[in-house]
Amino acid sequence: MIFIVILGKSLASNAPIVIRFSHVVAPNTPKGWGAKEFARRVNRELNGKVRVEVFANGTLYRDNEAIEALAAGDLEMAAPSSAKLMGIVPALQLFDMPFLFSDIQSVHNAMDGAIGEEMKEIFLNRNLGIRLLTFWDNAFKQFTCNVHPLLSPDDFKGLKFRIMSSDVLETQMKSLGATGLRLPFQEVYEVLKKGIVDGQENTASNIYTGNFHKVQQYLTFSNHGYLGYLVIINEAFWEKLPGHIQNKLTAILEDVTKNVRKKAQELDRQQSEQIKIYAKTHDRPGISTLNEYQKKNLQKAMLPVYKKFSTIVPERWVSSIKNM
């Protein structure tokens, strides 16, 4: 009996701590790359004490299922887009606000400064069972459509768009006279192909790796909104980790986050080019880029979103970003 207990204890203490990291996109995207890189570094640098296992393409959990599993302690790590966490922290819809960030630097200023810190505290203070570790980039979103080019607010009227599960995004589409349908990422290709929706908004890397450009005639480089991720871990799991392991994971994550930012910009450029090449070689009529005038018109049409969400997305966050 004593022997069994001792053996059991020694086996348990030698077993690596396993971190399952679930996400819904392809490995060749900013998040896919970041998750692989985090796993590679942890698996190499923690000498077998911690093992990270990455599940890409929604193979373990899809979209919101991952958040529920993580909060319940059935999953250790994930990096959902901020939009998908709005059910538990509505203020995160800050990142969905249309035309809020003038460039990627202003997104980073918000994440790395007081706003990012406040967001981390919200998770800690509300006992959500979820710790926000860091933010990873994807890029700015572009519109695609199968009906006609999307260049002015009128072009959106009466059309249906797949959106992520965010009230701000639903209101954004409504402000253009369109309908936003919340659907999981894994269903986007099929609903576009079958014409269940007319279009969608996403980053070049999600469009390219999801093959959405192959089932959409028109794409507008609009950069109208940002898409990024909250890297989260189950709070109880994190608290049980020894301090030196927490420190090592934090340091690796900090490095990986810096590299994800570079990689995200590189992939955005490359995959935007790949989409343009595909359109050219497949005789597609419509790749457009909004000019300043078209951008201003779209921006103006989306202004009601700000009024509607002024009590949900702190106005001081919005104005500090506008003044950055």
C-alpha 161/C-alpha 145 separation (Å) is: 8
Quote the least distance from Cβ 122 to ligand LMR, whole Å: 20
| Closer residue to ligand LMR, CB minimum distance, 46 or 100 | 100
**Minimum CB distance to ligand LMR smaller for 264 or for 298:** 264
Does 260 engage in binding with ligand LMR (CB under 6 A)? Answer: no
Does residue 209 touch ligand LMR according to CB under 6 A? no
Residues in contact with ligand LMR, counted by CB under 6 A, come to a total of 9
CB of 251 to ligand LMR, least distance (A): 25
Paired with 140 in beta bridges are 226
First to last CA, the chain: 66
Among residues 81 and 234, whose Cβ is nearest to ligand LMR?
81
Task: Indicate whether 25 belongs to the interface with ligand LMR (CB under 6 A).
Answer: yes
Nearest CB to ligand LMR, comparing residues 68 and 245: 68
Residue 64 vs 297, nearer CB to ligand LMR:
64
Choose the stretch contacting ligand LMR; rule: CB under 6 A; options: 9-17, 24-32, 114-122, 292-300. 24-32
State in angstroms the smallest separation of the CB of 25 from ligand LMR: 5
The span from the CA of 178 to the CA of 158, in Å, is: 5
Write each residue from 73 to 92 as x if it is in contact with ligand LMR (CB under 6 A), else as -, in one continuous string: --------x-----------
Q: Is residue 206 close enough to count as binding ligand LMR by CB under 6 A?
A: yes
* Selected binder of ligand LMR within 93, 138, 142, 172 (CB under 6 A): 138
Question: Is the CB of 81 or the CB of 172 nearer to ligand LMR?
Answer: 81
Contact flag: residue 164 with ligand LMR (CB under 6 A): yes
Which one among 21, 95, 185, 317 touches ligand LMR, defined by CB under 6 A?
A: 185
Q: Whose Cβ is closer to ligand LMR: residue 24's or residue 115's?
A: 24
Residue 54 engages ligand LMR in binding (rule: CB under 6 A): no
Sites of contact with ligand LMR (CB under 6 A): 24-25, 31, 81, 138, 164, 185, 202, 206
